Amino acid sequence: MAAIFLAVRRVPLWPVLATLLVLSGCALPPLADRPDSRSFPQSQTRETVLGQAITPKTDAHPGLSGIILLPDPYDAFAARALLAEAAEASLDVQYYIWRPDTTGTLMLYTLYRAAERGVRIRLLLDDNGIVGMDDILAALSQHPNIEIRLFNPFVVRNPKWLGYLTDFRRLNYRMHNKSLTADNQVTIIGGRNIADEYFGAAGGGLFADLDVLAIGPAVDDISRDFDRYWASNASWPARQILGEPEPGPDPLAELAELLKVSENSIASSVYARTLEDSAFLRKLLIGELTFSWAPVVMVSDDPAKVLGRNGNEDLLSQQLARALEDPERSITLVSPYFIPGDAGVELFRTLEERGIEVRVLTNSLEANDVAMVHASYSKYRKPLLRAGVELWEMRRLDDEAPKEQDLQTGMMGISVSSLHAKTFAVDGEILFVGSFNFDPRSIHLNTELGFVIKSPELARTLEREFDEQVRSSAYQVVLGEDGELRWLERQEHRTVTYSHEPGTGPLKRIMVFFWSLMPIESLL
């Protein structure tokens, strides 16, 4: 027996663990008994409070969607929470990241209260972005008006990352979409997930992050797309994955009390005041909100992308190419993670040779929260500059949010000082806003969602904000006379020139150089 014990001790742990995971049958349960549901037609929700407020406006603008940009983080939070409070028929909610922090807990309590009023809640979450949420979601899923599904879920729950050992090919594909739709009358899409750092980042104006609120035909498009994801073979009922809550007192009642206590906590006071002070819902209901009316094309990856069953023509990147007219004058592009690849560099070179101005804003190393992404992007800076692209890197934004918020710094998402908006304008005529980053992961691995908005008013808003803000909040990257990179920081009365990545130490720069040598670009 001692000999056997000693032999076992000599066996490497990870191969044994991986084998045990495979042999234990870590397979997803069958989907045969999954209930079916669809979004309510807009004609059925016209008599809701939201429907009565919105229908006269949409009837007056047939074929067009009403759009409001939401660059301010507090407005973006208030809009979501107040729409959930106003809903009477349904809330369809789809997110990549949802954290059990202040804003995440407040939003969960808002959904719970809506369910208590009889509103049907469908909550679709990517399973990679809900760390620490299993018990909460298991309890919420007990509510008769709340159904939760997990997209491309992990079977091993703790620690989740063990799943990558046996199923990396599947689990490397994630749902990056973000939307909240109330009564199929109003929707919010864009770059923000549900977590404190997305609703508390100060400074950076339009570029810290960006969502759009929409009414009209674009809402119906989002609802149909939500139905497609909800019914996909990658969406699993949370009960099948998370199991039942621990036995004991009513888990739903305990959760409701916990959420209520959280709502009244000191940490929630800033957001509670935001809701109290917001005039958003009142203005919406009495028709005082000012919308920009425009044709809107929704672009979205087929959820089958994560199963490897869709062709290139179904990719959002291809839909974007079809939806955009050939640029004639300019492209202004904002992307926190920007890895153009050789093909992207060649495209920009061709555009510049045709006399089309290309301007790009992305994160600097000091602001980027994913060093590996920056390492891959850094290889393309010189080729981009030689091609004629005007390149800017956002400086680390000051965190001016009130201290009582105790905001997190973004282990899985953005830091409060990062650029996170995903948007671009073409010729001052067309604006894109969505979840799509210009990197290989958004193109090939993650599913994405966005709006192509044919609105000179909104496109020129982006260009104007770029002109006004970028010089004061970003470094311009240029080539020096020696062909090496320089970073220009324009201060009030002078321009400071850096010969290496500003705001970083040698250790971080060495780490980025190391990552740039690794063949990992296709995974980023």
Active site (annotated) includes residue 183: yes
Contacts of 168 (CB under 8 A, 6+ apart): none
Active site (annotated) includes residue 178: yes
CA triplet 319, 321, 327: central angle to 5 degrees?
150
Among 178, 305, 374, 454, which one carries the catalytic annotation? 178
Among 127, 422, 439, 454, which one carries the catalytic annotation? 422
Give the burial string for 266-291 (b: 16+ CB within 10 Å, else e): ebbebbbebbeebebbeebbeeebeb
Taken in order 325, 326, 332, 333, the sign of the CA dihedral is positive
Among 176, 305, 374, 454, which one carries the catalytic annotation? 176
Contacts of 35 (CB under 8 A, 6+ apart): 147, 237
Per the rule left: phi > 0, alpha: psi between -120 and 50, beta: everything else, 307 is: alpha
Among 72, 127, 183, 196, which one carries the catalytic annotation? 183
Among 72, 211, 221, 427, which one carries the catalytic annotation? 427
Contacts of 447 (CB under 8 A, 6+ apart): 173, 174, 175, 176, 177, 229, 300, 301, 302, 303, 305, 306, 316
Taken in order 417, 422, 428, 431, the sign of the CA dihedral is negative
Active site (annotated) includes residue 374: no
Q: Kindly provide the residue ranges of all beta strands, DSSP E only, lying in 152-196, ordered along the sequence.
A: 179-182, 186-190
User: CA 187, CA 255: separation in Å to the nearest integer?
Assistant: 27
Among 305, 374, 420, 454, which one carries the catalytic annotation? 420
Burial of 175 (0-12, 13-18, 19+ CB in 10 A): buried
Residues assigned a catalytic role: 176, 178, 183, 420, 422, 427
